[in-house]
Amino acid sequence: MFRLTALGGTFDIIHIGHLILIEKAISISEKIIIGLTSDSFITKNGKKITNNFEQRFENLEKIIHEKFPDCSFEIAKLDDDFGPAVIEGDVDALVVSDETSKKGDILNALRKERKLDPVEIITVPMKLASDGNRISSTRIRNSEIDSSGNILVD
């Protein structure tokens, strides 16, 4: 059991893939810290979003209270890939998806430069939609799938 586990994301439209990552982090840790990307960081990376930071923060907080009422968590604004809590702090594990697993190696290299112990990288397999493709906020926004990964028919 870890003391503090981190995960991060945009969480624009919260879907089953997000919930699986959060559930995994909760299941292995006393407390979790969720890095929520800032609007400026999203824009810098050329991503499109529906909800601004405040709305995404509110939605994320609400769903965690609903789905995981006993969870000890904190949401921190991310202006870069990791944030100070992960690079310098007491985080001992990072939960990532297959898609973002390379970030774990980058994080541990940064921690090594700072003479900090590496964090354990926990990779969670991507949840696929019923058509076998990945679930994403973009696909939900485009009305291809719902937040559980079911195909939407016109």
Residues 28-72: tens digit of each pLDDT: 999 999 999 999 999 998 888 999 999 999 999 999 999 999 999
pLDDT band at residue 143 using 50, 70 and 90 as cut-offs: very high
Evaluate whether 125 touches 21 at the Cβ level (below 8 Å).
no
Cβ-in-10-Å burial (0-12, 13-18, 19+) of 60 comes to buried
Q: What DSSP state is assigned to residue 50?
A: S
Q: Cα–Cα–Cα angle for 124, 129, 130, nearest 5°? A: 130
pLDDT band at residue 87 using 50, 70 and 90 as cut-offs: confident
Give strand ranges (E) for the chain. 2-9, 29-37, 73-78, 93-97, 120-124
Q: What's the whole-number average pLDDT of the chain?
A: 93
